[in-house]
Amino acid sequence: MRIVVASGKGGTGKTTVATSLALSAGESSVRFIDCDVEAPNAALFLHPMLDTRKAVGIQLPVVDEALCTHCGRCAEVCEFHAIAVIGKKILIFPQLCHGCGSCTLICPEKAISERLDVMGVLESGMTATGVDFAQGVMNVGEPMAVPIIRELKKWDGLSLRAPAKQSPNESGGLLPEGRNDTIEIRDAPPGASCPVVETMRGADFILLVTEPTPFGLHDLKQVVGIARELGIPSGVVINRDGIGDNAVEAYCAEAGLPILMRIPMERYIAEGVAQGKTLVDIHPEYKDRFRQMFMQIASLL
């Protein structure tokens, strides 16, 4: 079961929910993927031993001028205008290149090879509680997060390490009978643009963390729009419940979005999170609430 925790904007408690969800899965095998590659911070709460790393980026074309006949086919096939043929010159614009490989494939002279343009690093390791953790860290100044998130999602640095656990029904795990897959939790980047879409792609459920304010409602609507576009069911966690108004609640009722949890606005929760504690560290009773939420999500799929 793959659950994306998203919020549309930063500072709503998305990572607080995602990390506590991971720590509440009991005996089920859990993977946690921090897809907020521009500013990953879930490791500050889960404390994994990061012992595996891999450079990541896109394959940029390199043209062998000795073989090139300047036919122009590579420039024609490039929908991003990242390669141009001007007379007897070939120009490559790395900032525009998406590393799709079409130019390499189409070149009739085999004049194009590829080199990895490193955009960041993938890191993984286990936490003390047995969560298989991975994050992507994008180099400062890189324009595109999506290629890093895409690689992170399919990185086998995760599955190579994942401990073989019993099926959930033998182990008292959380998934319903017949479902013995790993629970994968993806912490999404803030916003409602391409990195969020890439994080959501292939997920089974989107958990939307919001707060009951006009800003919260505005951003919630945006991410609900993406989840619906992708055809993925979703539910809502209202954080800082008690502030603002009831417009989020009214919207959820109207849009048919189940409210799966409410976390009240409490000063001691905010202080604990600021000290790097997870919600279930601060308030152990929440483990049961998160476990119930897992089961509710499984029943919605």
Question: Of the candidates 54, 73, 179, 221, which one interacts with ligand SF4 according to CB under 6 A?
Answer: 73
Of 82-90, 212-220, 223-231, 291-299, the segment contacting ligand SF4 by CB under 6 A is 82-90
Q: Could you say whether residue 289 binds ligand SF4 (CB under 6 A)?
A: no
Nearer to ligand SF4, 57 or 173 (CB): 57
Count of residues of this chain found to bind ligand SF4 when the rule CB under 6 A is applied = 27
Which helix (H) or strand (E) segment holds residue 236: the answer is strand 234-241
- Spatial CB neighbours of 266, under 8 Å, sequence gap ≥ 6: none
CA 91 vs. chain centroid, Å, equals 34
Instruction: Answer left, alpha or beta for residue 231, where phi above 0 means left and psi between -120 and 50 means alpha.
Output: left
Give me the least distance between CB of 104 and ligand SF4, in Å please.
Answer: 7
Place of tokens 């989020």: 248
Give me the least distance between CB of 68 and ligand SF4, in Å please.
Answer: 3
Q: Could you say whether residue 174 binds ligand SF4 (CB under 6 A)?
A: no
Sequence letter at residue 101: G
Three-point CA angle 98, 190, 255, nearest 5° = 110
Please tell me the chain's helix, strand, coil percentages from 3-state DSSP, rounded to the nearest 5.
35, 25, 40
Q: Could you say whether residue 161 binds ligand SF4 (CB under 6 A)?
A: no
Residue 258 CA neighbour count, 13 Å, CB half = 14
Nearer to ligand SF4, 4 or 111 (CB): 111
Question: Of the candidates 12, 102, 124, 239, which one interacts with ligand SF4 according to CB under 6 A?
Answer: 102
Q: Could you say whether residue 85 binds ligand SF4 (CB under 6 A)?
A: yes
Q: Could you say whether residue 100 binds ligand SF4 (CB under 6 A)?
A: yes
Contact mark string toward ligand SF4, 111..130, x via CB under 6 A: xx------------------
Give me the least distance between CB of 62 and ligand SF4, in Å please.
Answer: 10
Question: Of the candidates 18, 30, 42, 74, which one interacts with ligand SF4 according to CB under 6 A?
Answer: 74
Q: Could you say whether residue 82 binds ligand SF4 (CB under 6 A)?
A: yes
Q: Could you say whether residue 207 binds ligand SF4 (CB under 6 A)?
A: no
Place of tokens 């979005």: 257
Write phi, then psi, for 261 (nearest 5 degrees): -160, 150
Q: For residues 173 and 184, what is the distance between their CA atoms, to the nearest angstrom?
A: 14
CA end-to-end distance (rounded Å), the chain = 9
- Interaction with ligand SF4 in 49-68: which residues (CB under 6 A)? 61, 63, 68
Of 108-116, 123-131, 166-174, 218-226, the segment contacting ligand SF4 by CB under 6 A is 108-116
CB count within 10 Å of CB 284 equals 10
Q: Could you say whether residue 144 binds ligand SF4 (CB under 6 A)?
A: no
Q: For residues 47 and 276, what is the distance between their CA atoms, to the nearest angstrom?
A: 10
Q: Could you say whether residue 283 binds ligand SF4 (CB under 6 A)?
A: no
Question: Of the candidates 17, 21, 25, 78, which one interacts with ligand SF4 according to CB under 6 A?
Answer: 78
Cβ(227)–Cβ(234) below 8 Å: yes
Q: Could you say whether residue 72 binds ligand SF4 (CB under 6 A)?
A: yes
Residues that bind ligand SF4 (CB under 6 A): 61, 63, 68-74, 77-78, 80, 82-83, 85, 90, 97-103, 107, 109, 111-112
